[in-house]
Amino acid sequence: MSGLVMPAPDAATLARRDEIVADLALIVPGEGVVDQPNGMRVFESDGLTAYRQMPLVVVLPETVAQVSRILKYCNERKIRVVPRGSGTSLSGGALPLQDAVLLVMSRFSRILDIDYANRTVTAQPGVTNLGISVAVEQEGFYYAPDPSSQIACSIGGNVAENSGGVHCLKYGLTANNVLGLEMVLMDGEVLRLGGKHLDSEGYDLMGIMTGSEGLLGVVTEVTVRILKRPEAARALLLGFPSSEEAGQCVADIIGAGIIPGGMEMMDRPAIHAAEDFVHAGYPLDVEALLIVELDGPGPEIDHLIAMVEAIAYKNGSTTCRISTSEAERLSFWAGRKAAFPAVGRISPDYYCMDGTIPRKQLPKVLAGMREMSEKYGLGVANVFHAGDGNLHPLILYDANVPGELEKAEDFGSDILRLCVAVGGVLTGEHGVGVEKRDLMPEMFNEIDLDQQMRVKCAFDPNHLLNPGKVFPQLRRCAELGRMHVHRGQMAFPDIPRF
């Protein structure tokens, strides 16, 4: 991502800034428009803090009608729009643009409906991930996807990035837990996709929207499935003399037909940072640590624990602790959940990557990252969702040292190239954003990218929604063939033939 290039600002839009601010203030009166530098500065970046950019203006709508009017206004005047949730994105997905309206959805913060009979919750996009579970916990329910940032990240942002979490191995990513969406298109049209039912008719537009990173529309309502809390849950804390042995243990557990509720891995730097931070009781004499959680009926858990313990010892485990209480189980997870801020205590800066690989390639990729660490002279701490191969290497650097940020970015790019080379993908849950945008050709050829852009053109033919993200090079929609979404439908005559 070194030398990041974003779309050139539109001079005409910049010249009309005062007019745009005044018009938006009519749509969202009161304190709904922020146009002064001090007020806008808190929005100049997202969780990917290496890049900052002040927006043209910030607007904070409170109703769907306001969102619709804002988008229609901007569409008619060809003004770019960047949607933003809580700003916890780690790929630059919510990075503002100098000539774009930053559409912040944080005021959409209410839970609209809890339906225990159908096991669903309908919430506005600004509700936090954890807020959904808190709202239903008294009845013994919870929302399964649980990113490490769940206390802050919004459910709308989770939809945009198709977020996961430590329990996504068994219970799925956001895409597997979203049943319905309300969204507003760039022309102001309001669509409803899906609902409380399990399957929707027609094209899977909801599947397209989940993980679309704000390029296709703005989500204004989300219906998710909630689950009953398992009868019981216990966790194993397994230490290994090498990351390769821990990685092989992961593959063997899955190969034995065991699907844990969660299976996370940390290497030595991450273990020590987390233990110093939260004092979870992690062993400090191991190179790798696995946390394996098993849930369900008690007798089943006892049987699976014995199986996992045997597999771990077969792979050279030197430490095995099994939780005997809920408090102990939560303490095992406390260090993992706090791993990212903990690593911030051992390095002035760190660069959090996100790539996904086949589980069997874990040993090879971990060895490759060690070689890259020596090549670039930068440390790396590994914290990742081992069960589904979603890696989160944390590259350690000091932004005050000239050239170290660029080295960290190059290091990260090499990690992602390795992920693709072994049969993996560029992202598991953080999205492409600007961080991985210029690496897309590593995974997709020109035909692939053109097909993806045809979908973009169907929803946003003028490329006004979140431009400069995901696609390394924009193509005019007229060059690609015409498609258009209207009332949630794409007419067959509009689909290009090849």
Per-residue model confidence as pLDDT tens digits over 35-57: 999 999 999 998 877 788 999 99
Segment 113-141 shows an average pLDDT of 97
Contact 163, 171 (CB under 8 A): no
Q: What is the mean pLDDT of the chain?
A: 91
Report whether pLDDT(107) > 90: yes
Q: What is the CATH number of the domain that holds 139?
A: 3.30.465.10
Assess whether 204 and 270 both reside in one domain.
Answer: no
Q: Among 228, 244, 274, identify where a domain stops.
A: 228
Residues in the chain: 498
Q: Are the C-beta atoms of residues 240 and 290 closer than 8 Å to each other?
A: yes
- Kindly state the average pLDDT of the residues 226-248: 94
Domain that holds residue 191: 111-228
**Predicted pLDDT of residue 481:** 58
Does pLDDT of 487 surpass 70?
Answer: no
Residues 300 and 354 in one domain: no
Same-domain status, 296 and 317: yes
Last residue of a domain, one of 341, 372, 398: 341
Same domain, 269 and 244: yes
Q: Is there a single domain that holds both residue 386 and residue 460?
A: no
Question: Are residues 319 and 383 both part of a single domain?
Answer: no
Report the pLDDT value the prediction gives residue 341, as an integer from 0 to 100.
Answer: 87
Written as one letter, the residue type at 399 is: A
Residue 275 has pLDDT above 60, yes or no: yes
Q: Select from 80, 104, 128 the last residue of a domain.
A: 104
Cα–Cα distance, 313 to 192 (Å, whole number): 51
Could you read off the pLDDT of 247-271 as tens digits, one per residue?
Answer: 889 989 999 999 999 999 999 999 9
Do 220 and 130 lie in a common domain? yes
What is the domain-level CATH number for residue 391?
Answer: 3.30.70.2740
Q: How many domains does the chain have?
A: 5
Highest mean pLDDT among 88-92, 109-113, 249-253: 109-113
Residue 4 resides in a domain: no
Q: What are phi and psi of 401, to 5 degrees?
A: -95, 115
* Count of C-beta atoms within a 10 Å radius of residue 181: 23
10 Å Cβ neighbour count for 41?
12
CA 374, 438, 369: angle at the middle one, nearest 5?
20
Whether 67 contacts 186, CB under 8 Å:
no
Q: Is the pLDDT of residue 443 over 90?
A: yes
Tell me if 2 is assigned to some domain.
Answer: no
Q: Is residue 3 part of a domain?
A: no
pLDDT tens digits for range 447-462: 999 999 999 999 999 9
Backbone torsion region of residue 149, taken as left when φ is above 0, otherwise alpha when ψ lies between -120 and 50, otherwise beta: alpha
**H/E/C letters for each residue in 86-147?**
CCCCCCCCCCCCCCEEEEECCCCCCEEEEECCCCEEEECCCCEHHHHHHHHHHHCEECCCCC
Residues 61 and 131 grouped into a single domain: no
- Percentage above 90 pLDDT, the chain: 79
**Half-sphere exposure of residue 5: CA atoms within 13 angstroms, side-chain side:** 6
Taking the CB of residue 5, how many other CB atoms lie within 10 A of it?
11
**Which residues are registered as beta bridge partners of 193?**
181
Among candidates 398, 274, 384, which has minimal Cα distance to 347?
398
Q: Tell me, what's the pLDDT at 494?
A: 38
Residue 168 lies in a domain: yes
**Token pair recorded at residue 460:** 């946003």
pLDDT tens sequence across 352-380: 999 999 988 888 898 899 999 999 999 99
Residue 92 shares a structural domain with residue 125? no
Q: Strand pairing partners for 404? A: none
